[in-house]
Amino acid sequence: MKPINVGLLGIGTVGSGTWSVLARNREEISRRAGRDIRISVVADQDVEKAKRLTGGTVHIVPDAFDVVASPDIDIVVELIGGYTVAKDLVLRAIGNGKHVVTANKALLALHGTEIFAAAQANGVMVGFEAAVAGGIPIVKAVREGLTANRIEWIAGIINGTANFILSEMRERGLPFEAVLKEAQALGYAEADPTFDIEGIDAAHKLTILAALAFGIPMQFSKAYTEGIAKLTQADIRYAESLGYRIKLLGVTKRTAEGIELRVHPTLIPERRLIANVEGVLNAVLVKGDAVGPTLYYGAGAGAEPTASAVVADLVDVTRMHTADPEHRVPHLAFQPDRLSDERVLPMEDVVTSYYLRMRVLDRPGVLADITRILADGMISIDAMIQREPGEGEEQVDIIMLTHEAREKRINESIRAIEGLPVVTGQVTRIRLENLL
Kindly name the residue from 87, 98, 140, 205 that is annotated as catalytic: 205
218, 257 in Cβ contact below 8 A?
A: no
- Catalytic residue at 222? no
- Maximal CA-CA distance, the chain: 83
Contacts 24+ apart (CB under 8 A), 419-426: 420/360, 420/366, 420/369, 420/370, 420/373, 422/360, 422/361, 422/363, 422/366, 422/369, 423/358, 423/359, 423/360, 423/361, 423/366, 423/370, 424/359, 424/360, 424/361, 424/395, 425/359
Strand spans (E) along 259-338: 259-269, 281-288, 292-299
Instruction: For residue 4, give the nearest of 327, 309, 315, 325 by alpha carbon.
Output: 315
Quickly count: other Cβ atoms within 10 Å of residue 383's Cβ. Answer: 12
- φ/ψ region of 6 (left if φ > 0, alpha if ψ in -120 to 50, else beta) reads beta
> What's the angle, vertex CA 170, arms to CA 169 and CA 173, rounded to 5?
65
Task: Report the distance separating Cα 61 and Cα 333, nearest Å.
Answer: 35
Instruction: For residue 302, give the nearest of 83, 26, 16, 24 by alpha carbon.
Output: 16
DSSP conformational letter for 344: B
Task: Report the distance separating Cα 247 and Cα 164, nearest Å.
Answer: 10
Report the catalytic residues.
205
